[in-house]
């Protein structure tokens, strides 16, 4: 839960930063958010979650 919440905050911050710097338009941001929302409700959600957990667990070993 803590890792998921941290990733949501991280990606939310990055999305806000891209919008503020006008690198990403509002329409693109909406598409990115909706893609993530619908991806979370598919069968790929477990695979994406496992991949992100593996990346997070590998970072301290670098």
For residues 24 and 15, is the Cβ–Cβ distance under 8 A? yes
The whole-angstrom separation of Cα 26 and Cα 3 is: 27
Confidence (pLDDT) at 29 = 83
- The string of pLDDT tens digits covering residues 1-43 is 556 567 777 777 888 888 888 888 888 888 788 778 877 778 8
Non-local (6+) Cβ contacts of 18 within 8 A are 24, 29
């Amino acid at each position: 839960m803590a890792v998921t919440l941290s990733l949501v905050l991280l990606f939310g911050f990055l999305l806000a930063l891209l919008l503020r710097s006008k690198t990403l338009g509002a329409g693109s941001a909406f598409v990115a958010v909706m893609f993530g929302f619908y991806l979370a409700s598919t069968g790929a959600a477990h695979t994406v979650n496992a991949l992100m957990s593996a990346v997070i667990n590998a970072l301290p070993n670098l």
